[in-house]
Amino acid sequence: PSGSAAAEIQKLKDADLCTVQVGYYSLRKDLLQIIERKVDKIAEAGTSS
């Protein structure tokens, strides 16, 4: 992943949000200031699996 994507992935891992399902069921405000459209992509991935 690119530098910013890698940093966001690390933030998710640090918060124990290591799967799409966990990310999908987490509150948006708890997703560590990730750009909202990326949160939407995580949510879409969670509903499509």
> What predicted TM-score, i.e. pTM, was given to this entire model?
0.37
Task: Quick: pLDDT tens for 13-45.
Answer: 787 766 666 656 666 666 656 666 776 777 777
Task: Kindly list the domain boundaries of the chain, sorted by start residue.
Answer: 3-48
Enumerate the H helices of 1-49 as residue ranges: 3-14, 20-25, 36-48
Q: Does 10 score more than 70 pLDDT?
A: yes
Q: Does 47 score more than 70 pLDDT?
A: yes
What does the buried/exposed string (b/e) look like for 17-42 if buried means 16 or more CB atoms within 10 Å of the residue's CB? Answer: beebeebbebeeeebeebeeeebeeb
Higher pLDDT, 1 or 37: 37
Residue 1: which pLDDT band, with cuts at 50, 70 and 90? low
Residue with tokens 């939407």: 40
